[in-house]
Amino acid sequence: MKNGERLLFLYNDLSAAITSFEKSLNIDLVNYDEFETDVLKNGQIQKFEYTIELLWKTLKKYFEVKRENIILYPKDAVKAFFAESAVDEETYLVLMDAMESRNLLSHTYKIEMFDLIYPQLKNYEKAIRYACAALKPHTL
Residue 121: per-residue pLDDT: 98
Domain boundaries, the chain: 3-139
Number of Cβ atoms within 10 Å of the Cβ of 9: 14
Task: Write out the DSSP string of 73-99.
Answer: SHHHHHHHHHHTTSS-HHHHHHHHHHH
Which residue, among 92, 97, 103, 89, has the nearest Cα to 121 in the 3D structure?
97
Which residue, among 28, 119, 131, has the nearest Cα to 74 in the 3D structure?
131
> Does the CA dihedral 107-110-112-114 come out positive or negative?
positive
Number of Cβ atoms within 10 Å of the Cβ of 10: 20
Residue 16: per-residue pLDDT: 98
For residues 45-65, one letter each, b for 16 or more C-beta atoms within 10 angstroms of the residue's C-beta and e for the rest, the string is: bebbbbbbbbbbbbbbbbbeb
Superfamily classification of domain 3-139? Nucleotidyltransferases  domain 2 (1.20.120.330)
pTM of the model: 0.94
Residue 1: per-residue pLDDT: 67
Helix (H, G, I), strand (E, B) or coil at 65: helix
Give the pLDDT of the chain (140 residues) as one tens digit per residue: 687 899 999 999 999 999 999 999 999 999 999 999 999 999 999 999 999 999 999 999 999 998 888 999 999 999 999 999 999 999 999 999 999 999 998 877 678 889 999 999 999 999 999 999 999 988 76
